[in-house]
Amino acid sequence: MWMIKSFINHHQSGLLSRRKSMAGSWFSLLFLLLLPLVAISLLQKHKRSKPSKRQNPPGPPKLPLIGNLHQFDGLKPHECLMKLSQKYGPLMSLKLGRIPVIVISSAEMAKEALKNNDLTFSNRPISVANQKYSRNGIDLGFAPYGEYWREMRKLTVLHLFSLKKVQSFRPIHEDEVAQVVKQISDLSSSSQIIDIGSTMVSLNSRTICRIAFGKKGDEKDKEESKEKPKRRSAHEILQEAEAFLGGFFVADYFPSLGWIDKLTGMLPRLDKNFKELDSFYQELIEEQLAKSERKESLSNDNVLQLLIQLKEDKSISTVDLTWDHIKAILTTIFLAASTSTASAITWAMTCLMKNPSTMEILKAEIRDSFRSKGKIEAEQLESLPYLNAVIKETLRLHPPAPLLVPRQTIETCTLGGYEIQPNAMVFINAWAISRDPKIWESPNEFKPERFFNNDIDLMNGQHFELIPFGSGRRGCPGAHLALAMAQLVLANLLHFFDWELPSGMKPEDIDTAGLPGISVLPKTPLYLVAKKCS
């Protein structure tokens, strides 16, 4: 198929450039916006309003009209908000343009919000980008909380990402990882430098293609490739979609100034990207339907075929699935999984290379466990304590989505002694929580051993000191799939290879700065040399 091959082979460099470009656009737009608004605010006479009787959470002073936009760093929002919370507290209020914002930066406040008041914090804020990609909130990720959302979650959890279904994907994971091991083995014979991040993104892309569409990595329809003109790859389109979801739209903060998004080109670019994505899905759907008409054998192991079956069988769910529903669900799956697992594995390798003694301990555990078997058996990985401690510690220091996915309050509630109003956007700073010195000893150091004497479970979301997959009703339904993939890939990388830095480079030279985006990848690519272990 014409887009699948290029989706698989596209590398991380495109992702880096698109995110940098989007970040630059954010600041340019903010500057252009601030200048006239501040001028207007200085010219206008603002009447003093009566003091509010409500006891709002503390926060930094707000400027007229723009609120705290001038203090919000779009490149590193999680770091920016953590610094502000250190001054104003773990429950903080901001205003971004016309949008009231609540920032939660402690495990105690997160527990009170996501466990004691989970229903109140179960909505999603509406933005220009998420409304576009969710097709007006008919997917699972951005659907407003209510009966429809509950039915969609039930459908997703029971039929797409149940534990049984995740286990059925295991042969796909193992096959794709085996191909990467062979690829690295070929490169190691000539001591070629390997871009770990790019390799992991490519692996993740292939795996998602097979899970979502049943497409193998080496499939290519030569006839279509000759007939169709060259187009952008699906991976490029999805990268741009992710950048838009993390980008700055004036209309999100100043609804009456939405025309600026047209003027700057942001809205036309968003529309173009959406149409390209829609065309990609439409082609895949037509291909599946054509196979069905030809009565070819179809496996229900891929997500698209499952969704088509759910659409045809009206007795399975109260939701009357349409093609728009299916396309919205596919977008959620792709955008949630496109770089999150690759991010976790790349950060794990980054941390291990900076801590060689930890690397040696983990290699010894993996190789001792599988030496006599010759291959990694996925079902045994959960029983390896050091491997799982390394993954937990990686997710603590580098959660794939540092601010999780924003929430919105449904009704008034009391949190930490303060009154929280409805329709407030809520950022839960998982990155700040997992680096809180009140909870974690030496919070900025990589110490997997800290997980040997505690029972923190990443899956249930009830240990609020570490919630990389969120918690409560809006927790990530694909967490089991992501964790299983991270375990399998990391175990294979360390079972078959010893890893070295390029000549002249030392562990302390490795850059741990992150790249802007919903899911954070290392800003500087991690280049390594693989050596086959004896």
209 is in an annotated binding site: no
Helix (H) / strand (E) element for 100: namely strand 99-104
Q: Per DSSP, which regions of 252-408 are E strands?
A: 407-408
| Main-chain dihedrals φ then ψ at residue 120, nearest 5 degrees | -65, -30
Tallying the residues shown for the chain, one arrives at 534
DSSP letter string over 36-76? Answer: HHHHHHHHSPPPPPPPPSS-PPP----BTTTBTGGG--SSS
Query: Are the C-beta atoms of 41 and 263 separated by less than 8 Å?
Result: no
SS3 457: coil
Query: Are the C-beta atoms of 172 and 211 separated by less than 8 Å?
Result: yes
- Dihedral through CA 435, CA 349, CA 216, CA 335, nearest 10? 20
SS3 251: helix
**CA–CA dist 29, 23 (Å, integer):** 10
**CA–CA dist 443, 12 (Å, integer):** 29
Partner residues linked to 101 by β-bridges: 94, 425
Partner residues linked to 522 by β-bridges: 514
Report CA-CA distances (Å) from 454 to 78, 345, 394.
26, 23, 16
Q: Per DSSP, which regions of 108-239 are E strands?
A: 193-195
Cβ contacts of 224 within 8 Å, gap of 6 or more: 1, 2
Pairing relationship of beta strands 407-408 and 425-428 according to DSSP bridges: antiparallel
Binding-site entries: 476
Binding-site entries for heme: 476
